[in-house]
A = this chain, B = another copy of it.
Amino acid sequence: MNFNKSKGIVSIKDLSREDILSIIKDCEKVKEEKKFFPDNKNNVGSNKKVASLFFENSTRTRVSSETAAQNLGFYINGFAGAEGTSVKKGEPLIDTVRMFEAYDYKAIIMRHELAGAARLAADHLNIPVINGGDGSSGHPTQTLLDLFTIYEEKHTLDKLKIALVGDLKYGRTVHSLIDALSLFDVEVYLISPPGLDMPQWRITDYCNMSGKKPIIASNLKEIVALVDVLYVTRIQRERFPLGIEGEAEFKKILGLFYINKDFLERYAKKDLIILHPLPRDKNNMEISIDVDNTPYAKYFIQAQNGLHLRESLLSSIIHSENLIINHNHNHNHNKRLPGSLNLPIIDGQKKGDKFLYRLDEGTLIDHIEVNLGQKLYKMLSLDKITDAEVVLCTNIRSKQYGRKDVVAIHKLILTPEQLYKIALISPKHTINIIKNQKVIKKERAILPSPLYDLLICNNPLCISRAEHKEFARSIFYIESDDPLQVRCHYCEEFFTRNEISIAF
Q: A54-B84, A98-B300, A282-B470 are known contacts. Are A91 and B59 too (CB-CB below 8 A)?
A: yes
The reply to whether A289 and B471 form a contact with Cβ atoms under 8 Å apart is yes
Q: A39-B47, A46-B39 are known contacts. Are A281 and B89 too (CB-CB below 8 A)?
A: yes
Q: Looking across the interface, which residue of chain B has its beta carbon closest to that of A470?
A: B282
The reply to whether A58 and B86 form a contact with Cβ atoms under 8 Å apart is yes
- Decide if A79 is an interface residue (CB 8 Å cutoff): yes
Q: How many residues of A contact B (CB 8 A)?
A: 61
Which residues on the B side are within 8 Å of A48 (C-beta)? Answer: 39
Instruction: Mark contacts of A253-287 with chain B using CB atoms, 8 A cut-off: 1 yes-contact digit, 0 otherwise.
Output: 00000000000000000000000001111111000
Q: Looking across the interface, which residue of chain B has its beta carbon closest to that of A100?
A: B63
Q: A48-B39, A77-B66 are known contacts. Are A57 and B103 too (CB-CB below 8 A)?
A: no
- Decide if A99 is an interface residue (CB 8 Å cutoff): yes
The reply to whether A303 and B99 form a contact with Cβ atoms under 8 Å apart is yes
The reply to whether A282 and B91 form a contact with Cβ atoms under 8 Å apart is yes
- Decide if A96 is an interface residue (CB 8 Å cutoff): yes
Which residues on the B side are within 8 Å of A284 (C-beta)? Answer: 90
The reply to whether B59 and A278 form a contact with Cβ atoms under 8 Å apart is no
Q: A77-B70, A79-B80, A102-B304 are known contacts. Are A59 and B87 too (CB-CB below 8 A)?
A: yes
Interface residues of A in 83-114 (CB under 8 A from B): 83-92, 95-96, 98-100, 102-105
Closest Cβ of chain B to A449, distance in Å, is 25
The reply to whether B471 and A282 form a contact with Cβ atoms under 8 Å apart is yes
Complex Cα distance A58/B84, Å? 6
User: Which of B46, B71, B92, B278 lies in contact with A280, CB distance below 8 A?
Assistant: B92
Q: Looking across the interface, which residue of chain B has its beta carbon closest to that of A284?
A: B90
The reply to whether A71 and B84 form a contact with Cβ atoms under 8 Å apart is no
| Copies of this protein, total | 3
Q: A280-B95, A283-B469 are known contacts. Are A57 and B80 too (CB-CB below 8 A)?
A: no
Q: A66-B77, A77-B67 are known contacts. Are A279 and B86 too (CB-CB below 8 A)?
A: yes
- Decide if A451 is an interface residue (CB 8 Å cutoff): no
Complex Cα distance A59/B88, Å? 10
User: Which of B58, B81, B303, B469 lies in contact with A282, CB distance below 8 A?
Assistant: B469
Closest Cβ of chain B to A307, distance in Å, is 5
The reply to whether B83 and A84 form a contact with Cβ atoms under 8 Å apart is yes
- Decide if A75 is an interface residue (CB 8 Å cutoff): yes
Complex Cα distance A279/B92, Å? 8
Q: A66-B77, A79-B80, A83-B84 are known contacts. Are A96 and B289 too (CB-CB below 8 A)?
A: no
- Decide if A60 is an interface residue (CB 8 Å cutoff): yes
Closest Cβ of chain B to A13, distance in Å, is 27
- Decide if A487 is an interface residue (CB 8 Å cutoff): no
User: Which of B63, B83, B90, B102 lies in contact with A77, CB distance below 8 A?
Assistant: B63
Q: A80-B84, A282-B90, A282-B470 are known contacts. Are A41 and B47 too (CB-CB below 8 A)?
A: yes
Which residues on the B side are within 8 Å of A59 (C-beta)? Answer: 79, 85-87, 91, 96, 99
Which residues on the B side are within 8 Å of A104 (C-beta)? Answer: 34, 38, 67, 307
The reply to whether A279 and B103 form a contact with Cβ atoms under 8 Å apart is no
- Decide if A64 is an interface residue (CB 8 Å cutoff): yes
Which residues on the B side are within 8 Å of A89 (C-beta)? Answer: 57, 234, 279, 281
Name the residue in A47, A66, A282 with the highest tally of chain B Cβ atoms < 10 Å from its Cβ. Answer: A282
- Decide if A49 is an interface residue (CB 8 Å cutoff): yes
Q: A99-B60, A104-B307, A304-B102 are known contacts. Are A281 and B91 too (CB-CB below 8 A)?
A: yes
Would you mind naming 5 contact pairs between A and B with Cβ atoms under 8 Å apart? A57-B85, A58-B86, A83-B83, A90-B281, A104-B307
- The 9 A-B residue pairs with the shortest CB-CB distance, nearest first, are A81-B84, A91-B279, A90-B281, A102-B304, A86-B279, A59-B86, A282-B469, A92-B282, A59-B85
Q: Point out residues on A near B: beta carbons under 8 Å.
A: 34, 38-41, 46-49, 54, 57-60, 63-64, 66-67, 70-71, 75, 77-81, 83-92, 95-96, 98-100, 102-105, 234, 278-284, 289, 300, 303-304, 307, 469-471
- Given contact pairs A67-B77, A102-B303, enumerate 13 new A-B contacts (beta carbons under 8 Å): A39-B46, A58-B85, A59-B85, A59-B99, A66-B77, A67-B103, A70-B75, A80-B85, A81-B83, A83-B83, A96-B279, A102-B307, A283-B469
